Homo-oligomer: A and B are copies of this chain.
């Protein structure tokens, strides 16, 4: 699928998935797309774990509320490392966000739906740490987000967004020339 078309068609899909497995080749393509995103000072702070083993998916689903109700045949977990970059500053949030965006768009381009789950991962019950423990992730990596990958079983909906002219301008704030 054309790049811009895939970006426009991407939405946060929070409903159920078909049982159809996601071939490893597609998971590799999606993860390669994620790792192709830039990182501040090329520090490559992002790592990824794709999970398609039903037993491990079931254990992760015990931790994550959403997955319990919306099981997907695969999920990609996003790990981040806080490595100092330009002038000692950290860009790892930017790095993993760019990687996730590539993952979501790549998934759509291959016919899948997905969603960026991050808020709940950081909730008081520390789902990220619980998921990291199941996956054997060491303490210097932080499991910050996950994205289910699968074929949508339900209709794909788009949230209402402000019109272009309220968010994008030319040559000055709120200018159209």
Contact = CB atoms under 8 A, between A and B. Distances in A.
Interface of A: 1-8, 10-12, 24, 27-29, 31-38, 40-42, 44, 46-53, 56, 85-87, 89, 91, 93-95, 97-98, 100-102, 104-106, 108-110, 116, 118-119, 122-123, 135-138, 141, 159-162, 164, 167-173, 175
A136 B4 CA distance: 30
Given A40-B119, A41-B119, A95-B97, 5 more contacts: A3-B5, A4-B106, A47-B167, A93-B94, A136-B172
A44 B101 contact: no
Contacts of A106: 3-4, 7
A56 B171 contact: yes
A131 to B, nearest CB: 11
B93 A161 contact: no
Closest 6 CB pairs of A and B: A97-B97, A3-B109, A86-B119, A98-B101, A3-B6, A101-B101
Given A6-B3, A32-B8, A169 B50 contact: yes
B164 A31 contact: yes
A169 B143 CA distance: 13
29 contacts: A2-B109, A3-B6, A3-B106, A7-B106, A8-B36, A10-B36, A12-B38, A28-B168, A32-B164, A35-B164, A35-B167, A38-B101, A38-B116, A42-B159, A48-B167, A48-B169, A49-B173, A53-B171, A56-B172, A85-B119, A89-B119, A89-B122, A91-B118, A93-B93, A97-B97, A98-B98, A98-B100, A102-B105, A136-B172
